[in-house]
Amino acid sequence: MDFALSPEQRALRRSIINFARAELGDGADDDREMRFSLDGWERCARFGVLGWPIPQEFGGVGLDPLSTVIAMEALGYACRDNGLVFVINNHLWACAVYLQQHGNDEQRKRFLPKMCAGELIGAHALTEEHAGSDILSMRTTVVRDGDEYVLTGTKTFISNAGIADVFVLLARTGEPGRRQDALSAFVVPADSPGLEVTRQWTKSGLRSTPMGEVTLTGCRVPVDNLLGREGDGYSIFTSTIEWERCFMFANQVGVMERILEDCVRHARGREQFGRPVGANQAVSHRIADMKVRLELAKLMIYKVGWLKQQGKIALAEAAIAKLFISESHVQAALDAMQIHGARGYLAEFGVERELRDALGGTIYGGTSEIQREVIASLAGMPGSGRV
């Protein structure tokens, strides 16, 4: 068992850190305007970020899964605009990977090259008001009309809505109920007739990632936009959620390392009562705990990347990684606020922004409570079979 990064992976990490620091800014601007950084998006596209996990034949870079984890971790570490990184995460793991894993060659050739080039921004239209984690209860319906599907319903809390050019969308093609073959997955361009973004939500954190509501009123898409076969939607979701829960949280491991370094720097440089505040156990022990959680998070996220590189199922490991990293990220940000004192609470210094950005991680991609249900079920406990 070898825990060392290869020379190529170390070089990749260095190049990403240098790129992000040089071209994506320090993220110190006030985020109250909730403005998506199109310039940052385009810079990431030119650097190849948007094609890291996509095969070269479809316009991507073709990184293996473990190297992709390392790349996403480095981007999270060096780019302080957590919202921009979250836009990229949604684009890659909630949209592009669906096409890569489950699209046919025509669909891949039609969408993926433009997504890798940044010409199309992707999103995942899954959540509904009455069906968040309980996706089998979704009410958006689909009926076939000749060579088209007609979708009707509302998707809410959709990250990237308002800037997205294409959605991967799940809807009901079967009868109401709990049947797992009642859902189907579609690729829906944002300019499809009958699709409208009808609301923009204001969030506590990740404010440079737009979030909106998508209304489908007789929205028509060609039958060629069906992913897989009718009734495959639930199985497509369950097989792809591993990627989202692991790779979307790799960047948070990088953020945790950045927060730790910021705290160490502050604790060494800030003096009270004639000595650095880090000389107090109340501070140094917080930093020790941050370091422990960071190292465990790295081990977990690298393990999932390795499993996916081997072509293995990692549903339990991805749920464990998502749960541990998201909660550890929140705790790291809370500790950082306490260590920085008043500076941690004031918007000017950026620490409170790290906390606001961290809080959503225990909710999106399946709440912490859902992850514990998944882990318990896969450990052999009776449960609902949630994913």
Phi, psi of 368, rounded to the nearest 5 degrees: -55, -35
Distance CA 226, CA 317 (A): 30
Amino acid present at 383: G
Distance CA 350, CA 259 (A): 11
Distance CA 162, CA 171 (A): 20
Distance CA 115, CA 83 (A): 18
Residue 271 bears catalytic tag: no
Distance CA 158, CA 53 (A): 23
Q: Decide: 245 and 239 in contact? Cβ < 8 Å.
A: no
Sequence-distant (6+) residues with CB within 8 A of 57 are: none
Sequence-distant (6+) residues with CB within 8 A of 31 are: 83, 207, 208, 353
Q: Which of 128, 213, 242, 244 is catalytic?
A: 244
- DSSP annotation of 69: H
Radius of gyration of the chain from Cα atoms? Answer: 21
Q: Tell me which residues are annotated as active site.
A: 244
